[in-house]
Amino acid sequence: MTLQHYLVLSAILFCIGLYGVLVKRNAVVVLMCIEIMLNGVNIAMVAFSRYIVPTALTGQVFAIFIMTVAAAEVAVGLAIVIAIYRSRQSVDVADINLMKW
Partner 1 sequence: MEIGLAIGFWVLAIVTVVSALAVVLLRDVFHAALFLVVSFVTVAGIYVTLNADFLAAVQILIYAGAIAILLLFAIMLTREVRQGSPSNRLQLPALIIAVLMLVTFISVFTSTQWKISAQAPPEASTGPLALTLFNNFALPFEVASVLLLAAIVGAIALVRER
Which residue type sits at 90? S
Phi-psi sector, 45: left (phi>0), alpha (psi -120 to 50), beta: alpha
Structural contact between residues 17 and 40, judged by C-beta atoms closer than 8 angstroms: yes
Judged by CB under 8 A, does residue 60 bind partner 1? yes
Which residues from 71-100 bind partner 1, rule CB under 8 A?
71-76, 78-83, 85, 91, 94
- What is the binding site for partner 1 (CB under 8 A)? 1-9, 11-20, 22-26, 28-29, 31-33, 35-36, 39, 42-43, 46-47, 49-58, 60-61, 63-65, 67-76, 78-83, 85, 91, 94
